[in-house]
Structure 1
Amino acid sequence: MRARHCGLDFGTSNSTLGFRTGAGYAMCPLDGDSPTLPSAVFFDYEEDRVQFGRGGIAAYITGVEGRLLRALKSVLGSQLIGETTLIGRKRVPMRAIIGMFLRQMKKLAEQRLGHEIDNVVLGRPVRFVDEDDMADRRAEEELVGIAKEQGFRHVATQLEPIAAALAYEQSLSQEELSLIVDLGGGTSDFVIARLSPEGAQRSDRSGDILGRSGVHVGGTDFDCSLSIAQAMPHLGYHALIGPKRLPMPSHLFHDLATWHKIPFLYTPQNISYLRSIIDDSDQPARLERLLHLLSKRQGHQLAGEVEAAKIALSDAMEAILHLPRDPEAALPDAAFTVTRADLDEAVSRDTGRIIAAIDRCCREAAVNPAHLQSVFLTGGSTGIPSVRRRILEHVANARPVAGDMFGSVGLGLAIDADRRFG
């Protein structure tokens, strides 16, 4: 019998899908040969179609007229899940857009596997919403409900760091007391677990999960912090306006630096406001650049440039950050150097919140950080050198293990799906 179940990791930045094979577990190619599908939906106005993943992002960046939405997972648990956004001349619920993306993942997987997928285990962060249990439960219910609407008959959920632990456990030859660190696009999640080859055979692992914690900090937050510090000053972030020289409203810039809030900035009211204050400001050329960016709906292009600079700084000490081009601007096109030190400073505060969440996990598990034997690192943000360094320094006695940055959770969810539905 071919497995009619899968594990689906719907991520803030990237999504994956794992399934059982004859030889074990594998990731399903979702975007060409890549197992990662960027969590992006592009509404192509020119050809009146919807594109997903890298294709949609590429179309948007090359100037195809349309709307790009990213970081869709961040909408879960927020008031935005009940909002609509303008797509062409039609207002579309955000919930429906998430549904389109999950339906596309299901369709791609079924085409690859050659049969229908009935059952799924969805990954979920330890906390969708910090310090609000009701909103957190509602976010999970929303995700499960959306998945069922796309044709999954039975839907279960599993904490993403527990899924990562299940994947790591497959490689062990002896018992370990391990800290699982999953730094995703929207959340950072942690589990302390007793893992072993014997434990890998048990379906009930509740007794081996000693502690867990999570915090709403992830790669998109690092993008936001870097954007505010390095990009937004070139768009008038520190401009003073009016006869009283009041500061520009900061929410415009923070929303422009936040992936899932960008589409809601493209309003006639914001455009009119900027036009009304430019001439009476101390940085008119920079505010003209901001006006052009919003008028041309280039917010996601800017966010992509910031993200690319962040990724480049994982391997290099310097990167070039480009602002979207405005051929009629009074200022020349902005291309400036960002250093790794700039990135370290921008993410320092959020990294401190990650360390505090690890300490909470240790307290819940009643484990001294010095007694941890291994630390398993997964998620794209573990590639940021200063973040990784501070984590490893905090659990200095633990042996660092690098997991598949983008695939560990999906594989673990496939293992969990096999145990539940196999």
Structure 2
Amino acid sequence: MLSGDLRVPDFCGLDFGTSNSTLAVQAGNSTRLMPLEGDDLTLPSAIFFDFEAHQPRFGRAAVQAYVAGTEGRLMRSLKSVLGTSLINEDTQLQTRRIPLHSVIEMVVRHIKATAEAACGRELTRVVHGRPVHFVDGDDEADQRAEDSLLGIARAAGFKDVAFQFEPIAAALHYESQIEREEVALIADIGGGTSDFSIVRIGPDRARRADRLDDILANDGLRIGGTDIDRLLSMETVMPHLGFRSPLATKGLLTPNQWYVDLATWAKINLLYHPAVLAEVRRTARQAVHPRLLERLATVLEHQLGHALAMKVEEAKIALSSARTFDIDLSMVEPGLEAPATRVRLAEAIADPVNRLAAMVQGCLVQAGLKPNQVDAVFLTGGSTLLPAVRDAICAEVPEARVVEGDKFGAVGLGLALDAARKFG
């Protein structure tokens, strides 16, 4: 709990992320992230329905229970279903079914309760972070996603809910650290979306009530770390399970959809159905290389999809600093490995990286600025650690100073600053 000499108001900033979540409050004259799991200030956005203890587990505890082999169901990257038809679907939990929006509500409610225990008071008002676009090129789906998040926040116990774009929140956090006015490109590359803003910031501007004129450009697209995971998985792991493997009938290959779903966090559970496993086994009998399909059957039978996804995520993180990494697939077959390299990763994600660069160019046009008129580029979000991603962004504003933001806390801290403006 925070020390008694720090008065915490009843408002907060909540960054419910695809991969990780944070919650920040105003504590005295500063903003502070609340511990959400032990001493950790971030909570992996994961929930595990423990069928043995008959209770949900959250964050790292959820992942640990799954890895330990506890009977249950792991769900991650739930934010990615907002704005899609999946939000209205149910997931099977033994003999009952639960709507996905109720699953997200459970995670948000847990974050709220944990933060309240840490700061010693009820939190009733929240500025909720949101990407610039939940869904690319679909304003109606975008609004549905925000409406869903609003309903979830209220169901979780928040009485007053406001929203702020995540890159603007990151800009507010960066602004609190600088001593002179500048034009900054904010690049927030998260787990599910990539968001960019070009903003005029500075100590004098920070005191203004209306900041609308300071936002020179704001845009985003549905590309994030989970997409990088999926592309890396398709390039390195899925061929070992039969992806693009030929069938006995000339010209036919194994169905792509199994592998796309297995490489996509939010869709892995869809494959854990007896009918899918039966179809994979039938296809294995028609395969030129049946052993590969038998490995896929092993993954589905023993529900190893999330464990594979974690191995791929581990490789992605490792390749931000190493040039090679062998992905351990021994859970599928003893001794099996999938070699990965930084070069192969860069090739696999070339298209989305090019789209990120194009979005920076579009923001410059929207702002009416030339690249040399941007003073700083503020990088936040875990995927900005990947050389291919950061190099592509920084190359568009080559003279800008590169500022390394808090990769997982900048948005939450900025949302708390915005909450102080809106509710304080």
Please give the TM-score of this superposition, normalised by the length of structure 1. 0.97
| Residue equivalent to 2:233 | 227
Shift of 1:370: 2.3
Gapped regions of structure 1 (runs ≥ 5) = none
Shift of 1:324: 5.4
Distance 2:273 2:313 in 1: 25
Check conservation: 2:13, 2:24, Cα contact below 8 A. Answer: yes
| 1:348 to 2:354 alignment | no
| 1:100 to 2:94 alignment | no
Decide which moves more: 187-196 or 240-249.
240-249
Shift of 1:245: 4.9
| Residue equivalent to 1:59 | 65
SS of the counterpart of 1:362? Answer: helix
| 1:270 to 2:276 alignment | yes
| Residue equivalent to 1:360 | 362
| Residue equivalent to 2:324 | 318
The one-letter amino acid paired with 1:314 is S
Check conservation: 2:190, 2:381, Cα contact below 8 A. Answer: yes
| 1:196 to 2:202 alignment | yes
Output aligned runs, 1:1-400, within 5 Å. Answer: 2-323=8-329, 325-326=331-332, 332-400=334-402
SS of the counterpart of 1:172? Answer: coil
Decide which moves more: 353-362 or 220-229.
353-362
| Residue equivalent to 1:419 | 421
Distance 2:159 2:330 in 1: 44
Shift of 1:244: 3.9
SS of the counterpart of 1:204? Answer: coil
SS of the counterpart of 1:130? Answer: coil
Distance 2:338 2:236 in 1: 9
Deviations 1:39-60 (A, max 9, x none): 0000111111100000110110
Identity across matched positions, percent: 48
Distance 2:8 2:345 in 1: 47
CA RMSD of aligned residues (A): 1.1
Distance 1:150 1:68 in 2: 21
Decide which moves more: 397-406 or 234-243.
234-243
Please give the TM-score of this superposition, normalised by the length of structure 2. 0.97
Distance 1:324 1:133 in 2: 44
Gapped regions of structure 2 (runs ≥ 5) = 1-6
| Residue equivalent to 2:4 | none
Distance 2:207 2:172 in 1: 10
The size of the alignment, in residue pairs, is 418
The one-letter amino acid paired with 2:395 is E
Decide which moves more: 340-349 or 281-290.
340-349
SS of the counterpart of 2:349? Answer: helix
Distance 1:393 1:353 in 2: 13
Distance 2:125 2:377 in 1: 31
Distance 1:87 1:381 in 2: 32
Deviating runs (4+, > 6 A) in structure 1? none
SS of the counterpart of 2:412? Answer: helix
Distance 1:208 1:245 in 2: 57
Distance 1:335 1:203 in 2: 56
Check conservation: 2:246, 2:252, Cα contact below 8 A. Answer: yes
The structure-2 alpha-carbon separation of the partners of 1:79 and 1:242, relative to structure 1 and needing over 3 Å to count, comes to farther
SS of the counterpart of 1:26? Answer: strand
Check conservation: 1:5, 1:117, Cα contact below 8 A. Answer: yes
SS of the counterpart of 2:203? Answer: coil
Check conservation: 1:16, 1:28, Cα contact below 8 A. Answer: yes
Shift of 1:243: 3.1
Check conservation: 2:58, 2:107, Cα contact below 8 A. Answer: yes
Distance 1:46 1:224 in 2: 31
The structure-2 alpha-carbon separation of the partners of 1:324 and 1:81, relative to structure 1 and needing over 3 Å to count, comes to farther
Distance 1:367 1:20 in 2: 35
SS of the counterpart of 1:285? Answer: helix
Distance 1:56 1:324 in 2: 22
Shift of 1:34: 0.9
SS of the counterpart of 1:401? Answer: strand
Distance 1:16 1:128 in 2: 19
The one-letter amino acid paired with 2:310 is G
Shift of 1:23: 3.5
Deviations 1:354-379 (A, max 9, x none): 11111111111111122111100000
Shift of 1:242: 4.5
Shift of 1:157: 0.4
